[in-house]
């Protein structure tokens, strides 16, 4: 039976009905709470699923995302971080019992890479012996294809052999010395084959380079026995290192005010030595199609990890002899597989080198002009030359 409220005029439900209404309200409250809790749980699970597929960055601020992978190596995004092997080396691995070898072998911290032909076998043999005894990894680029001709040498199986007909060391370097491949080596010697090393010790050389803080360097040339192309490379008796040379008469003068190659901050391309950090830059500077690399020497200072007037230099204490032998396209090249264009091959090689130098120069100027974010640290310095 319903009761009547004389004040409000409303009919009040009896106690049983009031109990029923309270029960309904409680049930509704419980359902509502469960809905909000469940909604929060499923929303969280949904976001986690999106994160697994790389979609979460579109719905939340990247700063709050703890899994930032934008700097990971390209192509590795689908892998767990701990399994990614970012770098490699040129160490040859045994087919069995590798743990035993790992206990015996010392890590080799430096690399010598050379483009070689069988005609210079005797010269190369002396170079390789000296570097192997100094705990170097040695990699030979065979431009004549005669790899088997080196089998008689005792160190043949200790070095890496790569063969491609009539290619330069810069062609090989661009394809086989990627910074990730040679990341474990502190210094990279990228040398020609026509060098005599009787007065050169690799360990002493590196000791001087480290002491002087040189990121890009070369050994000086004995002027009495070498074919010298640039005065800066000439050995100075009684000197340990020099970074500049002087020419006070004629065109292309070099003096104390000179700040650009080839007066200072410059090495020649027959026997350059690069630190690990500088090579990471130089490799990107090498153009894939310009295999002679003429003109590259003028811009190496940009990769010197600092001021090229301090970080680039010529080491006098450990000097070499540059024979200047014509190899690629030359008359003393080996008989065998060749694509050289006849008797005037050497002249055509030099002509192609000049053409590539002009192409590289244009590419540099265009790149510097178009890149609005790049600042040339040497823009105000005169581009001096003695060529």
**Per-residue confidence (pLDDT) for residue 14, from 0 to 100:** 61
**Two structure tokens written together for 299:** 């811009």
**What pLDDT, in 10s, does the model give residues 326-368?**
877 654 444 444 455 556 788 899 899 999 999 999 999 999 9
Please state, in angstroms and rounded to a whole number, the distance separating the CA atoms of residues 305 and 303: 6
Domain locations in the chain?
Answer: 3-52, 107-337
- For 112: left if phi > 0, alpha if psi spans -120 to 50, otherwise beta; the answer is beta
**Three-state SS for 92?**
coil
Strand partners, 191: 114
**Two structure tokens written together for 127:** 């170079």
| pTM attached to this predicted model | 0.76
Q: Is 299 exposed, middle or buried (0-12, 13-18, 19+ CB in 10 A)?
A: middle
Contact 217, 269 (CB under 8 A): no
CB atoms within 10 A of CB 290: 22
Q: Would you give the DSSP letter of residue 10?
A: P
**Three-state SS for 211?**
helix
Computed over every residue of the chain, the mean pLDDT equals 83
* Region 110-125 average pLDDT: 97
**What pLDDT, in 10s, does the model give residues 32-71?**
666 655 555 555 555 555 455 454 444 444 444 555 656 7
DSSP secondary structure, 274-306, as one string: EEHHHHHHHHHHS-SS-TT-TTHHHHGGGGSSS
Res. 175 pLDDT band, cuts 50 70 90: very high
* Region 220-227 average pLDDT: 95
Please state, in angstroms and rounded to a whole number, the distance separating the CA atoms of residues 198 and 133: 14
Please state which of the four CATH numbers 3.90.550.10, 3.30.465.10, 2.40.33.20, 3.10.129.10 is assigned to the domain occupying 107-337.
3.90.550.10
* Region 16-44 average pLDDT: 63
Backbone angles phi, psi at 248, to 5 degrees: -100, 0
Torsion over CA of 235, 239, 240 and 246, rounded to 10 degrees?
A: -60
Identify which of 188, 192, 184, 129 has the alpha carbon closest to the alpha carbon of residue 159. Answer: 129
């Amino acid at each position: 039976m319903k009761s009547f409220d004389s004040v409000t005029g409303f009919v009040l439900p009896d106690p049983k009905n009031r109990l029923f209404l309270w029960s309904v309200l409680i049930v509704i409250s419980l359902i509502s709470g469960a809905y909000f809790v469940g909604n929060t749980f499923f929303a969280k699970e949904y976001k986690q699923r999106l994160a697994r597929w790389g979609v979460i960055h579109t719905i939340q601020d990247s700063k709050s995302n703890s899994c930032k992978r934008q700097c990971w190596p390209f192509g590795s995004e689908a892998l767990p971080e701990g399994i990614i092997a970012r770098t490699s080396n040129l160490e040859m691995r045994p087919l069995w019992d590798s743990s035993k070898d790992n206990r015996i072998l010392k890590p080799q911290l430096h690399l010598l890479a050379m483009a070689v032909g069988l005609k210079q076998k005797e010269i190369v043999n002396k170079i390789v012996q000296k570097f192997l005894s100094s705990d170097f990894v040695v990699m030979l680029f065979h431009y004549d294809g005669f790899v088997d001709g080196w089998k008689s040498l005792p160190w043949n199986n200790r070095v890496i052999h790569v063969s491609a007909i009539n290619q330069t060391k810069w062609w090989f370097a661009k394809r086989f010395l990627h910074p990730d491949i040679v990341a474990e080596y502190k210094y990279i010697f990228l040398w020609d084959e026509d060098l005599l090393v009787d007065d050169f010790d690799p360990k002493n050389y590196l000791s001087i380079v480290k002491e002087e803080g040189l990121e890009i360097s070369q050994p000086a040339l004995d002027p009495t026995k070498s074919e010298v192309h640039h005065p800066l490379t000439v050995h100075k008796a009684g000197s340990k290192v020099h970074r500049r040379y002087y020419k006070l008469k004629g065109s292309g003068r070099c003096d104390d005010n000179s700040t650009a190659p080839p007066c200072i901050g410059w090495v020649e391309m027959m026997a350059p030595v690069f630190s690990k950090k500088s090579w990471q830059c130089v490799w990107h500077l090498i153009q894939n199609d310009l295999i002679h690399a003429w003109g590259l020497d003028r811009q190496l200072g940009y990769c010197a990890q600092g001021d090229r007037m301090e970080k680039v230099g010529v080491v006098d204490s450990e000097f070499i002899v540059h024979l200047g032998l014509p190899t690629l396209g030359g008359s003393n090249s080996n008989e065998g597989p060749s694509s050289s264009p006849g008797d005037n091959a050497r002249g055509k090689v030099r002509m192609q080198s000049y053409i590539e130098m002009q192409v590289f120069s244009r590419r540099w100027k265009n790149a510097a002009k178009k890149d609005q974010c790049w600042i040339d640290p040497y823009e105000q310095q005169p581009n001096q030359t003695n060529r």
